[in-house]
């Protein structure tokens, strides 16, 4: 979603020229009132409501579709203010898109004004929890009583884990403190687990910040150094992105 004014629309069309979107289809603008939507035609059999229920569980298909969706958004974001819609937002034809734009024009223009010259940064805090050593593994300093040695290792592991968690909590506090005065909004996400976490360690905080574009590099630098003296803790900073995490009013967009 972008502004439909002539300068903004021209920038968007220029950015989309030759770009392939979801399902490797060309991307075009559909305008109505003050807003315009970037759309591409997709196969009905693949994007029907019933088909999507199955497709969204196919990780390969989901990754390819999400990458194509993201490419369109980030291409537009490099030229103009953009409001990302949810992945797989499907309308039957352009007239339905125009109707949706007209009905939600006030919401869309308010969000476009709010996000103008702002970007999103992702900030994740990871705690690298030490692993408990194998109880059967011999330790040179162990006394003959291996049961006592095992209990000692358990106690040391618990202490190390508690220290790492305290350090991670301090890193979260620092990121929140360092964001003050730069970020205008924060969105909390559920910490990622398993394959979604991608990086080693346990993800203990997963936040997104809306930051004025002029303050973006200072924000990034502050976050990258938030855990400098905290052993076992790492801060990952991603971005700048279009404001994916701050478009809650768009969740109400219907899909006829």
What pLDDT sits at residue 100? 93
For 41-88, the pLDDT digits (tens) are: 999 888 988 898 888 889 999 999 999 999 999 999 999 999 998 888
What's the alpha-carbon Rg for the chain, to the nearest Å?
Answer: 24
Average pLDDT value over all residues in the chain: 87
Dist CA 171 CA 226 (whole Å)? 6
What pLDDT sits at residue 152? 72
> Is residue 47 classed as helix, strand or coil in its secondary structure?
helix
Dist CA 89 CA 1 (whole Å)? 12
What pLDDT sits at residue 153? 72
What pLDDT sits at residue 249? 56
For 9-41, the pLDDT digits (tens) are: 899 999 999 999 999 999 999 999 899 999 999
Residue 256 has pLDDT above 50, yes or no: no
Domain ranges of the chain: 2-116, 119-244
Residue 143 has pLDDT above 60, yes or no: no
Residue 135 has pLDDT above 50, yes or no: no
What pLDDT sits at residue 80? 92
Residue (of 197, 191, 201, 236) closest to 130 by Cα position: 201
Dist CA 115 CA 119 (whole Å)? 7
Please name the residue that has the structure tokens 């394959």: 195
With beta carbons less than 8 A apart as the criterion, state whether 1 and 77 touch: no
The model's confidence at residue 253, banded by pLDDT at 50, 70 and 90, is very low
Verdict on whether the full-model pTM lies above 0.85:
no
Dist CA 151 CA 253 (whole Å)? 57
Once rounded to an integer, what is the mean pLDDT over residues 163-185? 95
Residue percentage of the chain with pLDDT more than 90:
66
Q: What is the CATH number of domain 119-244?
A: 3.30.70
Beta strands in the chain (DSSP E): 2-3, 28-32, 35-39, 118-127, 185-189, 202-212, 233-241
Dist CA 59 CA 155 (whole Å)? 41
Exposure b/e, 69-82, CB count within 10 A at least 16 = b: beebbebbbebbbb
What pLDDT sits at residue 194? 63
């Amino acid at each position: 979603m972008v502004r439909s004014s002539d300068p903004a629309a021209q920038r968007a069309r220029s950015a989309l020229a030759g770009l392939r979107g979801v399902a490797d289809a060309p991307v075009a603008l559909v305008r109505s009132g003050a807003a315009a939507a970037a759309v591409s035609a997709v196969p009905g059999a693949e994007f029907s409501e019933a088909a999507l229920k199955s497709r969204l569980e196919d990780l390969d298909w989901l990754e390819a579709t999400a990458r194509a969706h993201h490419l369109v958004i980030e291409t537009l974001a490099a030229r103009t203010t953009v409001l990302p819609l949810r992945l797989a937002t499907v309308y039957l034809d352009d007239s339905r898109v125009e109707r949706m734009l007209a009905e939600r024009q006030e919401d869309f223009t308010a969000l476009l004004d709010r996000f103008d010259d702002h970007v999103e940064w992702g900030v994740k805090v990871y705690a690298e929890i030490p692993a408990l050593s194998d109880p059967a593994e011999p330790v040179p300093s162990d006394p003959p009583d291996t049961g006592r040695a095992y209990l000692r290792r358990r106690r040391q592991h618990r202490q190390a884990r508690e220290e790492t968690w305290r350090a991670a909590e301090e890193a979260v506090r620092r990121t929140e403190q360092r964001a003050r005065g730069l970020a205008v909004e924060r969105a909390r996400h559920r910490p990622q687990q398993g394959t979604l976490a991608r990086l080693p360690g346990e993800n203990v905080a997963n936040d997104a910040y809306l930051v004025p574009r002029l303050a973006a590099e200072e924000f990034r630098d502050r976050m990258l150094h938030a855990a400098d003296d905290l052993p076992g803790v790492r801060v990952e900073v991603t971005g700048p992105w279009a404001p994916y995490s701050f478009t809650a009013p768009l969740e109400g967009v219907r899909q006829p």
